[in-house]
Structure 1
Amino acid sequence: MDWVKQLNESINYIEENLAGEISYEAISKIAGCSIYNFQRMFSYIADKPLSEYIRNRRLTMAAFDLLNSTERIIDISLKYGYESQDSFTRAFKNFHGVLPSSVRNETVQLKSCPKRSFQITIKGENHMNYQIEQWPAFRVMGISQKMKTSTAFEMVPKVWENAWKDGTMNRFIEKFPDYRPAGFLGIAQGGQWGESEEMEYIIAVTNYVDVPSCEHVPALEGMKEFAYPEATWAIFEANGELPEAIQKVYKQFYGEWLPNSGYELADLPVIECYMQDNHQEVWIAVIKK
């Protein structure tokens, strides 16, 4: 399926279920990627988190209901996923700047968050340095933490912080195989359709590449080993200050490169490689359409 079409069908699903339950499982299935990657892609292209977009769309529609219907405020609250009228009132005031009751009793100014749609763009403002490589099977060793996909954006930085504090990163440095994918690796694994509520985030280094000249480095004590198959990878340079350098690559990849490339996403995790002197790479597995 065309990538842009998948994105728009995901948005259509959200739109059809604003007054009901929005399933991350369904979004993952429609988009054909993990919900974590979909959330990340959406935030880079739309310049706001997916959860904020959904909340703002619901509050936009709630304002229309207040203006155009006689439904009770409590019923509108429940309709758009709020457990109480108080929580709905707080969210409504934060977004619109006025109380829900004021909409019916006064002339007030309201905000509107329009429905998003995606289309192919070719801006040509910034070039991307990348290469397509058929890379052999490889293994990484490291630590992992399972987390809810809904809280992943808050949890991932904490995993890195703890890894520096508890000495994990120093252990990597002491026994650092010079294999690719290179550097410290950040890998978001799982969260696909069928397991969209939970994902696993891995901090690791590559300890084996399936080529004759490579020696397997056993996983350090207390660490796990993860294996990935031979695949085609689009490898993008992401040099510069973090997190802006990585965010820029994702924004261009999802918004410009992927729709025009003749490739689609493969069912493998995205790998971020952090090296020295603000040198980073993003490895994204792809398959030819």
Structure 2
Amino acid sequence: MEWLKRMQAAIDYMEDHMDERITIEEIARAACSSTHHFQRMFYMLSGVTVGEYLRRRRLTLAAQELASSSSKVIDTALKYGYDSPESFAKAFRKVHGVSPSQARHAGVKLKAFPRIAIQIMLKGDQEMDYRIVEREGFTLIGKVIETTSAGGKSSKEITEFWRACFEQGVIQRLSEQIEEEKLYGVVYGFDCEQDSFKYMIAGRAARGALADHPQAAEVGQAAEADSQTADEFKTLEIPASTWAVFTCVGPMPGAIQSLIHRIYQEWFPATGYEHAGTPEFELYPPGDSSSEDYQCEMWIPVIKKE
């Protein structure tokens, strides 16, 4: 499969340059992919972010080098991208549980994070209902958190964010600023260096609500607010896009989390589409989201890969 070959080429590139400073742009180029699409695909297929993979592999190789050679700790630290022995020692201890110097001792147990081999399995045993939609741009208003995929934190933090927004009355206050009952869960603002992104619980902004909110200066960026109500909420411009829209049925958040993984593990590799790199969102209509027959949608902006 073409995408499998491209992903493997990117992994090979990373492995061949573990002792060099490489960028996500260079890695994605090896996969003939955009940086955004590559990062999402890599995480969904491997379970770790690109940054996590590089850190773990470099610390694995560093431990092997220290245990089997007489190389100095500072030389090893610099070789694998650390600016100082202190930062290297901190990262090393976090992974291996011992200091770099202790790694030389006989009998010391070290962790090994093996080279990833990507395998894509198109099961086809469960239908994925989707449609391709052209939609004009629109404005959302909502509350934002910043989270990270590293260590699987985002799933837990986003679930907690929804719970807190309901319990603390944020959703009720937001309902006064939007023009329809549907709620959006928006993912945007990826930071390659920090493995972080922003998540907004939002709604379609009512005309009156926008008066207190300056429009976002750039597509996909939330504008800071300056009024008393606006202090809590930000606006976000969603650009006109081609969307792949997937139907999701089942209790939240498990059903939507499972669908998102299937989109990246099964749908993208089997189609000629890539993520457009602009905000994506979950669309939640009113109803009992814990119900087995609750139905929502996942909207992902796509471009046709040449």
TM-score, normalised by the number of residues in structure 1: 0.72
- Matched-pair contact (CA < 8 Å) for 1:239–1:245: yes
The 5 Å alignment of 1:183-194 reads 183-191=182-190
- Matched-pair contact (CA < 8 Å) for 2:245–2:297: no
Aligned to 1:213: none
Q: Which amino acid aligns with 1:115?
A: R
Tell me how far apart the structure 2 counterparts of residues 170 and 198 of structure 1 sit (CA, whole Å). 28
Tell me how far apart the structure 1 counterparts of residues 149 and 264 of structure 2 sit (CA, whole Å). 21
Alpha-carbon distance change, 162 to 62 in structure 1, aligned in 2, over 3 angstroms: same
Aligned to 1:66: 66
- 1:258 is the counterpart of 2:268: yes
Aligned to 1:284: 300
- Matched-pair contact (CA < 8 Å) for 2:162–2:201: yes
Aligned to 1:137: 136
More moved, 155-164 vs 18-27:
155-164
Tell me how far apart the structure 2 counterparts of residues 148 and 23 of structure 1 sit (CA, whole Å). 21
List gaps (5 residues or longer) in structure 1.
208-216
Tell me how far apart the structure 2 counterparts of residues 230 and 29 of structure 1 sit (CA, whole Å). 24
User: What secondary structure sits across from 1:52 in the alignment?
Assistant: helix
Tell me how far apart the structure 2 counterparts of residues 247 and 132 of structure 1 sit (CA, whole Å). 19
User: What secondary structure sits across from 1:140 in the alignment?
Assistant: strand
Tell me how far apart the structure 1 counterparts of residues 30 and 161 of structure 2 sit (CA, whole Å). 29
- Matched-pair contact (CA < 8 Å) for 1:28–1:38: yes
User: What secondary structure sits across from 1:45 in the alignment?
Assistant: helix
- 1:111 is the counterpart of 2:111: yes
Q: Which amino acid aligns with 1:134?
A: V
Aligned to 1:212: none
Q: Which amino acid aligns with 1:240?
A: P
**Identity among equivalent pairs (%):** 32
Aligned to 2:207: 218
Alpha-carbon distance change, 90 to 184 in structure 1, aligned in 2, over 3 angstroms: same
Aligned to 1:214: none
> How many residues align structurally?
273
Aligned to 2:175: 173
For the aligned residues, what is the CA RMSD? 4.0
List gaps (5 residues or longer) in structure 2.
214-233
Ranked by relative contact order (alpha carbons within 8 Å, sequence separation 6 or more), the top structure is: 1
Alpha-carbon distance change, 76 to 147 in structure 1, aligned in 2, over 3 angstroms: same
